[in-house]
Amino acid sequence: METKKPEGARKETFRELLYYIPMGLGIVMVTCSLFAGEIPFGDAVTVFIVGFFMTFFFGIREGNRTQLLVKEARLKDEAEQLETERQLLEAEKQQLETERQLLEEEMQELEEERQELEAERQRLETYVEEARKQDEAIWHKWRDECEARWEKWVAKCEASLEESETRHQKDLAAWQESNAKWEEAVEACEAQIKLLQKSLQESENENRILREKYEELVNTGDDVIGRLDRTAHNLRDKLHEAQKRADMLQMKLNQIKPKRRPY
């Protein structure tokens, strides 16, 4: 990369050229002494020797100073470039940190959604269990009522039968009437038993439908939870890759930091 000489370096170069004037003057005087003879040869040689030594010692020193100034300017430019690259890497690192925080927030939201779905599944299980208990309670209630009515009708029929037997010799017609009532009661009881059996069948059908809906909801919840777990796993992989990239950038930044150079 080409580096411009600073103003101080140009001034030092001009000063370096000034040190060649005494030697040039000595050369001119020696030339004039040899060809024109106007200047004594010894004086011309003395001026030439003095100019030569001034140019040799002071000119070399000034040349080294100029090279050091140019080298210092070049090093400053390189330091500025490295500082710019470091700032860019810092900005990229900050961006990666922001992306990592966003990924963590998204994972937290997914975790909250998974917990909500788990709570909803538990609520549905509780609802189905309560419905099953209610159905069992209704069935036991209907069965007890049917048995009580049956026993009541049986007791009544037995009483009627005993009464008809005691009155058999006295009044056969009364016994036949009582027997007819007893048969009607039995038919009514059988009709009620059929109604109860029909209601029980309907209750079992409703319970089976509820159980199928519960199994469908449980399967759906398991599928959703599985997708959420896979999504969380992918997000964790992306977060791990982003962290590895940030570590590589940090390592690169440490490698390109400017080192102190002796002048």
Of 5-14, 36-45, 126-135, 144-153, give the lowest mean pLDDT range: 5-14
Structural contact between residues 29 and 46, judged by C-beta atoms closer than 8 angstroms: no
* Helix, coil or strand: residue 258: coil
List all residues 6 or more positions away from 188 whose beta carbon is below 8 Å from its beta carbon: 153
The arithmetic mean of pLDDT across residues 103-116, rounded, is: 88
Asked whether residue 262 is assigned to any structural domain, the reply reads: no
Q: How many other C-beta atoms are found inside a 10 Å radius of the C-beta of residue 50?
A: 14
Say how far apart CA 76 and CA 253 lie, in whole Å.
19
* pLDDT value of position 64: 66
* pLDDT value of position 3: 45
Q: Provide the pLDDT confidence category of residue 137 given band limits of 50, 70 and 90.
A: confident
Q: Provide the pLDDT confidence category of residue 11 given band limits of 50, 70 and 90.
A: low
Residue 88 has pLDDT above 80, yes or no: yes
Q: Which two tokens stand for residue 178?
A: 């009582």
Asked whether residue 249 is assigned to any structural domain, the reply reads: yes
Say how far apart CA 223 and CA 200 lie, in whole Å.
35
Asked whether residue 41 is assigned to any structural domain, the reply reads: yes
Asked whether residue 261 is assigned to any structural domain, the reply reads: no
User: How far is residue 205 from each of residues 48, 177, 200, 209, 240, measured CA to CA in Å?
Assistant: 128, 42, 9, 6, 52
Residue 226 has pLDDT above 70, yes or no: yes
Q: Provide the pLDDT confidence category of residue 257 given band limits of 50, 70 and 90.
A: low
Q: Which amino acid is at 129?
A: E
Task: Look up the pTM and report it.
Answer: 0.28
The arithmetic mean of pLDDT across residues 19-41, rounded, is: 68
Domain span including residue 47? 7-255
The arithmetic mean of pLDDT across residues 21-46, rounded, is: 69
Counted domains in the chain: 1
* pLDDT value of position 191: 77
Planar angle of CA 189, 134, 200, nearest 5 degrees: 35
* Helix, coil or strand: residue 167: coil
Q: Provide the pLDDT confidence category of residue 255 given band limits of 50, 70 and 90.
A: confident
Asked whether residue 71 is assigned to any structural domain, the reply reads: yes
Residue 186 has pLDDT above 80, yes or no: no
* pLDDT value of position 65: 66
Say how far apart CA 222 and CA 125 lie, in whole Å.
13
Q: How far is CA 170 from the centre of its chain?
A: 98
Say how far apart CA 239 and CA 100 lie, in whole Å.
6
Asked whether residue 217 is assigned to any structural domain, the reply reads: yes
Asked whether residue 263 is assigned to any structural domain, the reply reads: no
Say how far apart CA 165 and CA 171 lie, in whole Å.
10
Asked whether residue 202 is assigned to any structural domain, the reply reads: yes
In the chain, how long is the greatest CA-to-CA distance? 194
For residue 182, give the CATH number of its domain: 1.10.287
Chain segment 241-252, per-residue pLDDT in tens: 877 877 787 777
Say how far apart CA 154 and CA 161 lie, in whole Å.
10
Helix H or strand E encompassing 138:
helix 41-166
Pick the more confident residue, 112 or 158. 112
